[in-house]
Structures are given as C-alpha cells and as structure tokens.
Amino acid sequence: MSGNQALNANRYVGQQADLQITNHGSDWYYTVCAMMGLTTLVIMGLAFRKPQTHRLFHYIAAAITAVACVAYFAMGSNLGQLPILVQWIRPRSRWVGAAGTREIFYARYIDWAITTPLLLLELLLTAGVPTPTILATLLADVLMIVCGLIGALTQTRYKWGFWTFGMAALFFIAYELLFDARRHANTLGGDPKKTFWMCSVWLLLLWFLYPVAWGLSEGGNVIHPDSEAIFYGILDVLSKIVFTGLLLWGHRKTSPRALGRNIREPDQTAEKYHHGDGAGEGFPSTLSGSTASPPSTAGAGHPTAHPAAPGHV
C-alpha cells in the first residue's frame, strides 16, 4: 500500500464525525508538521552557534515550533479530534452539505494554549515589559484560547458567547501591545524598539484573522474541514515560522541583558554576573545599533529599574 493511510488506519480511534478531513487535508497537516519540525531543527542549530547567554529567544522559538509539529502530526493523523453536533446544518451548502456532526480538533487548542503565550512572551521580553504586565497579558491569552475551545465544543448558540469573551481578551492583548508594551519598547530604543514594532504589527494583523477562521469553521460550519486546515495552517505558518524568523533576525545583535534580563554562563560567578562583565556583555555596548538609551532606562525591564537589579532573569 502506498500514499497517506492515516485516515484509514485511525478510523476506529474514538468517534468519527460526518464531516471530517479528507486525504488532502491530512496531507496538508503533515506538510505543516514537517515545516514546523524542520524549523525547530534550524532554530536549534542557530542557537548552538551562540553563547548560552544569547539563546533565550531561540529556545522559546524552538519550543513553539516543536509543540506545533506534534499538534500537526496529531491532526494529520486524524487524531486529537471529537465529533460535535453543528449549530447550523446547511443542507444546501456545496461545502459542508447537511452534516450532523463536524470534526473539531481539540489538539489545535492544546497547541495554542502552550504556544500563543510563548509568542507573546517573546514580544513582551523584546519590549522590556515588567513581569506583572507580562503575566496579566499571558493570562488573558490563555483565557482567549480556552474560550475558543469551549465554544468549538458547544452545539448551541451559546458558542458565540465564548467567542465574544475570546474577542474581549484579544482586544485586551492588542491594547497591551499597542499602548503599554510600545511605551517600554520606545524607552529601550535601538534594535529592540524596531524589532518590537515589526513583530507586533505582524502578530496583530494575523491574530485578528483567527476569530474569522473560527467563525467560518468551528463556529458557523460554513467551510469544509479541509479548507479549515488550509486557513489555520497558513495562519500558523505565518504567525509561528515567519514571525520567529523576523524576531530572531531583529535580535541577531541584541543580548537579553540589553533587555534587562540577566542570564549567566555556567562558569560565570555571581560576582561577575552582577557586575555585568561576563561573556563580554556589559552595558551599554550590548544595545547594538542602539540610539543609546542610558543604562538606567534600559534596565530590568522597567524604565525606572536599575540595570543591574538582581533577580531578573
């Protein structure tokens, strides 16, 4: 036997929906799985060319694509799914034609619950946002994803209530990025500011398309699960792989210390660590291409913090 046997092999795993992906959808999910896996390897390869003090963003980025790789493997294999009764049956639709149940991939939401906070974390670290603000933003993000999951698993019109809560959380995140984090990024100046700008605009443009995709698939049952796979797949590639490329490129000359995060080399003593002379990384030379914000403003993630404040990792 040749070709993609996943649907056939897993047809008795759990219950199957009337409307589910075909071999085309499965092929596409596996393609994105391979892209995510390959990107993880490339990022780790790049990370090992850097000193440990400079790998923060590489590690976060690799974790994001590695988790997505597993989720896409599950979806390509037609696993991590549940049949859910649709709210609108649409008997005359060319695409979804009178299906009682639709395949809902909860695996997608497990992926997002892990990876979207990490994507946001990368941006908020880039801007040097203080830790409490980071935590609040990540919490809103997890809430948004959980709302999407519960809504997707709900048959009645109450699903749109969850969508609305999710949208409120998304607007909160957009506010945090556009107003709060932007102020911090402006204070840092130089490359971190440019990188933050570029990546946050890219992220927000894409993130507002997710609730549209949800409305057409899990929400309104308008498009076929294969089209859902393509819609979400393209969005995920753009907001994971392309976003990561932009971010790592933007940070190619920046050290976490310049963003107010002190990270030690294994052989670095506490003494050196606090004086900022380990691994040749001191202030302000690490603010590469910087418009030279004074060290006290580029400090521990907050405009008023001292740069060498211990305990900020």
User: What does the alpha-carbon distance between residue 244 and residue 202 come to, in Å, rounded to a whole number?
Assistant: 11
Return the closest-CA partner of residue 244 out of 87, 114, 59: 59
Tell whether residue 144 is a contact of ligand RET (CB under 6 A): yes
For ligand RET, which is the closer residue by CB, 196 or 207? 207
Our CB check for ligand RET shows the closer of 7 and 42 to be: 42
148 binds ligand RET (CB under 6 A): yes
- Residues numbered 272 to 291 that lie near ligand RET (CB under 6 A) are none
d(C-alpha 311, C-alpha 102), whole Å:
49
Does residue 207 bind ligand RET (CB under 6 A)?
yes
Question: Residue 311, class by beta-carbon neighbours within 10 Å (0-12 exposed, 13-18 middle, 19+ buried)?
Answer: exposed
Instruction: Indicate whether 211 belongs to the interface with ligand RET (CB under 6 A).
Output: yes
Query: Which among 259, 251, 255 is positioned nearest to 300, based on CA atoms?
Result: 259
Is 28 one of the binding residues for ligand RET (CB under 6 A)?
A: no
Name the residue type at position 14: G
Helical H runs in the chain?
A: 6-9, 23-47, 56-76, 106-127, 131-152, 159-175, 182-188, 190-207, 210-214, 225-236, 243-250, 270-275
Binding residue count for ligand RET, defined by CB under 6 A? 20
Query: Residues 35, 145, 185, 308: which binds ligand RET (CB under 6 A)?
Result: 145
By beta carbon distance, the residue nearest ligand RET is: 148
- Nearest distance in Å: CB 200, ligand RET: 13
Could you say which of 32, 170, 248, 308 contacts ligand RET (CB under 6 A)? 170
Report in angstroms how near the CB of residue 3 gets to ligand RET at its nearest.
28
What are the structure tokens assigned to 55, written together?
């790998």
Chain contacts with ligand RET (rule: CB under 6 A):
68, 112, 115-116, 119, 144-145, 147-148, 163, 166-167, 170, 207, 210-211, 214, 236, 239-240
